[in-house]
Structure 1
Amino acid sequence: MAARSEVVHCYGQLASGVARMAELARAREWGLLPALEEQCAALVERLKALAPLEVLDPSQFEQACRLIDQIRADQDEVCGLVKPQIEQLIARMSYLQQQRSLGKAYGPPH
């Protein structure tokens, strides 16, 4: 039996976190995403520190690769769901800025 790998464990936690982010994005629970993204970012930082120090055996390497593939797929889904929301927010902010500029130039609407 292979020894426990902290790197594989972190990848597992990251995969769970990103999968949860995908669930939240599908449910349009935008307000819950930032905290979860912060947790995932902390795991990525931990992996950056751990990965160079740990040598994975072939089964651990395969497991890590499967987890990375899952993480990438979930990340792509999250990006696909969040990007239109960000674009909509930017368009709305632009519209509000334009309205403010017009209000300053011509006064409030009657």
Structure 2
Amino acid sequence: MAATSEVVHCYAQLASNLSLMVSLARAKEWDRLPELEAQCASVLERLSVVSPQETLGVAQIAEARRLLERIRADQQAVSELVKPQLAHLVAAMADLQKRSELDRAYGLSR
């Protein structure tokens, strides 16, 4: 059995993190997503360093492709779950801005 490459290991970490992000987004545990996103960014940074230095075998390429498909599907799922939440947040912020402007217009600001 061939040793797991660092590249494949990075893809596996990304896949694991994104799978967890999907679960958390479905559970509406939004506060935990930024930490996982930061971990993904760190893994991507590492991947950009090790990827050019490593040659993958046929089995490793197949595993990397399988993981990439999983990563893409989970990225899409997270995006679909987060977009409505972001739209709600933007609307709430716009409402707060309008209230603040009205308060200032009528001299109610402190």
The answer for the alignment partner of 1:35 in structure 2 is 35
The answer for the alignment partner of 2:78 in structure 1 is 78
Unaligned 5+ runs, structure 2 = none
RMSD: 0.9
The answer for the alignment partner of 2:56 in structure 1 is 56
The answer for the alignment partner of 2:18 in structure 1 is 18
The answer for the alignment partner of 1:46 in structure 2 is 46
The answer for the alignment partner of 1:92 in structure 2 is 92
Amino acid at match of 2:66: R
The answer for the alignment partner of 1:104 in structure 2 is 104
* Deviation sequence 1:44-75 (CA, Å, 0-9, x none): 11001111000001110010000001000001
Matches of 2:17 and 2:4 in 1, distance apart?
A: 20
Amino acid at match of 1:41: A
Matches of 1:64 and 1:4 in 2, distance apart?
A: 11
The count of corresponding residues between Structure 1 and Structure 2 is: 108
State the 4+ residue runs in structure 1 displaced beyond 6 angstroms.
Answer: none
Unaligned 5+ runs, structure 1 = none
Aligned residues: percent identity? 54
CA drift at 1:2:
2.2
Matches of 2:4 and 2:68 in 1, distance apart?
A: 18
CA drift at 1:107:
3.3
The answer for the alignment partner of 1:67 in structure 2 is 67
Tell me the TM-score normalised to structure 2 length.
0.94
* Deviation sequence 1:1-42 (CA, Å, 0-9, x none): 323311101111110001000000000000011111111110
CA drift at 1:106:
1.6
